[in-house]
Structure 1
Amino acid sequence: MDVWAEVLVGVAILVGLIGIVVQVLPGAVLVLGGILVWAIFTGGVEAWVVFGIAAAAIAIAEVAQWLIAGKHLRKANVPWLTLAVGGIAGIIGFFVIPVLGLFLFFVGAIFLMEWARHREVPAAWASTKAAVQATLITIGVQLVGSLVAAGTWVVGLFFT
């Protein structure tokens, strides 16, 4: 694979990493997709070992994010329906107020759902904080897995 193609793969990986943090793009999919394209066009055992390690890192992160964040939410007694409504509101908010609306509508919908459930502002706010913390946990775990995958790709560049 020539240098410009590797630069494009690096850009796809970088966009994927940014997508994880911003939560607008399927970041881990972009990271793994970029590494897959690189492995296909580079070929050889080394490239496929790099892809395998990257895929394993991302798969482990995907499972871990659900386990860790789910445990956090169960401990805080936040139902999945609340998060689902918050996620849908965040998507709508993204289009109402570009980018910023994603966060405002997500947090606002969670707060309103929990306020309706608890009928108390302090309890609703505690649940909202727990839901936002769980979201940050998922972002962090995805980011770590994707950074391991990206680092593996960088190391793989030297061996192929």
Structure 2
Amino acid sequence: MNLAETDTLVTFIAGVAIVIGILGVIVPVLPGLPLCWGGVLLWAIFADGGWAKWVVLAVATVIAVVGAVVQYSWPGRNLKRSGVPNRTLLIGGLLGLVGFFVVPVVGLILGFVLGVWLAERMRLGDNQSAWPSTKNALKAAGLSMLIELGAALGIAFVWVVGLIVA
């Protein structure tokens, strides 16, 4: 196996990791951002691309870190403002985890919604009051997913530009 074949194989594997990472954001089964960043890291370490690949890795790292921080801080701040306690999110997350194994693919979302609604129903005492908190938690989860998807697509874009430049 010559060096050109190895470079092509590494680039292909990195691209597959990035695509699987993007799909992992959309279908929350795999860690999306870490897979995207890991694909770029693999490419930077093992592919032939000179100094440009390290610049691509640095930019991808900044995008991944900023994306991860914003993904949790912005929706969390919105939930705090709307009065949804952390305990409610924890219960939603736990039921989402159970739902993931009980109902494949959609169980995570169904379990999260059910968990948040049940926790808010117990805390607030009636269905009328629990539903607005549940909607706020869903909006926050959707915003978090969009932020992560934006970061994953940003990493993919930077990597493709790096392929062209390097």
Q: Is this a same-fold pair by TM over 0.5? A: yes
Provide the residue aligned with 2:30 in structure 1: 25
Question: SS where residue 2 of structure 1 aligns?
Answer: helix
Counterpart of 2:155 in structure 1: which amino acid?
A: A
Within the candidate set 51, 58, 64, 1:58 is matched to 64
Which moves more between the two structures, 38-47 or 128-137? 38-47
Question: SS where residue 30 of structure 2 aligns?
Answer: coil
Counterpart of 1:146 in structure 2: which amino acid?
A: A
Using the size of structure 1 for normalisation, the TM-score is: 0.95
Question: SS where residue 71 of structure 2 aligns?
Answer: helix
1:148 aligns with 2:130: no
Equivalents in 1 of 2:77, 2:106: separation in Å?
Answer: 28
1:5 aligns with 2:10: yes
Equivalents in 1 of 2:14, 2:156: separation in Å?
Answer: 10
For structure 2, the residue ranges without an aligned partner over 5 or more in a row are 1-5
Q: Over residues 72-100 of structure 1, what are the superposed CA-to-partner deviations in whole Å (9 max), with x where a residue is unaligned?
A: 10121101111111111111111111112
Runs of 4+ in 1 over 3 A off after TM superposition: none
Provide the residue aligned with 1:88 in structure 2: 94
Using the size of structure 2 for normalisation, the TM-score is: 0.92
Counterpart of 1:152 in structure 2: which amino acid?
A: V
Equivalents in 2 of 1:42, 1:63: separation in Å?
Answer: 29
Equivalents in 1 of 2:150, 2:109: separation in Å?
Answer: 22
Provide the residue aligned with 1:127 in structure 2: 133
Equivalents in 1 of 2:156, 2:94: separation in Å?
Answer: 30
Q: Over residues 80-138 of structure 1, what are the superposed CA-to-partner deviations in whole Å (9 max), with x where a residue is unaligned?
A: 11111111111111111111211111100110000000112121110001001101111
1:75 aligns with 2:81: yes
Counterpart of 1:27 in structure 2: which amino acid?
A: G
Task: Give the number of the structure whose alpha-carbon radius of gyration is greater.
Answer: 2
Equivalents in 1 of 2:104, 2:149: separation in Å?
Answer: 23
Equivalents in 1 of 2:82, 2:128: separation in Å?
Answer: 13
The structural deviation recorded for 1:14 is 0.7
The structural deviation recorded for 1:2 is 2.7
Number of equivalences: 160
Equivalents in 2 of 1:70, 1:113: separation in Å?
Answer: 17
1:117 aligns with 2:98: no
The structural deviation recorded for 1:60 is 0.6
